[in-house]
Structure 1
């Protein structure tokens, strides 16, 4: 049985609240779970002490048994000092896409053409 440490959504519409649970990977997000490990309230400030409440001993046990945490739960475990999470690095994320680079090249070509048009009559007048 593949186990996951993941978030199960609770709360009302537009007011999310999550339970950190251990569940079978095949069960639904808010469905059956094996054990509740803590809570996560994203509406609280990031520095609030009860934003993430986690039973670290039980989380450590489930990770040692082989439960795979999701990315968000892995962040919580890393903050608690239980698991090391590697920093992600995507150097291509900030680069513009193909259409944006094409538009920039077109704008640069138009600007160069306009500059040439402005400078051309002055050069002809200076030659005479």
Structure 2
């Protein structure tokens, strides 16, 4: 099954995440099909960079989002619509 989830980067106690599309059986920070964005929980959600068109494409072809990614996407969509 294809999953959209977070891959952890950054240093100890300073996490930084890449939003990646990967097979659900791959390790958390392992091989991925496509990187669709970045997310830093220490900064406001508006500073995240997520390609929503690619996320919508992958969801349209059957990819499942993790719970945390679903929350991040909802917050990001809400924040970008408030700015526009």
1:31 has 2:49 as partner? no
Report the structure, 1 or 2, having the larger strand content: 2
Could you list the runs of 4 or more consecutive aligned residues of structure 1 that deviate by over 3 angstroms after TM superposition? none
Higher relative CO (Cα under 8 Å, sequence separation at least 6) belongs to 2
Q: Distance between the aligned counterparts of 1:37 and 1:12, measured in 2?
A: 21
Structure 1 residues 31-78: Cα deviation after superposition (integer angstroms, max 9, x where no partner): 00000000110111x4x521x211010000000011000011111222
1:73 has 2:72 as partner? no
Map 1:1-128 to 2 at 5 A.
Answer: 2-44=1-43, 46=44, 49-50=46-47, 52-79=48-75, 80=77
Q: Distance between the aligned counterparts of 1:77 and 1:11, measured in 2?
A: 21
RMSD, aligned CA: 1.3
Q: Distance between the aligned counterparts of 1:37 and 1:6, measured in 2?
A: 10
Q: Distance between the aligned counterparts of 2:58 and 2:67, measured in 1?
A: 16
The match for 1:85 is none
Q: Distance between the aligned counterparts of 1:11 and 1:76, measured in 2?
A: 18
What runs of 5+ residues in structure 2 fail to find an aligned partner? Answer: 79-84
Normalising by structure 2, report the TM-score: 0.85
Normalising by structure 1, report the TM-score: 0.57
Structure 1 residues 75-127: Cα deviation after superposition (integer angstroms, max 9, x where no partner): 1222326xxxxxxxxxxxxxxxxxxxxxxxxxxxxxxxxxxxxxxxxxxxxxx
Report the structure, 1 or 2, having the larger helix content: 1
Between structure 1 and structure 2, the one with the greater Rg is 1
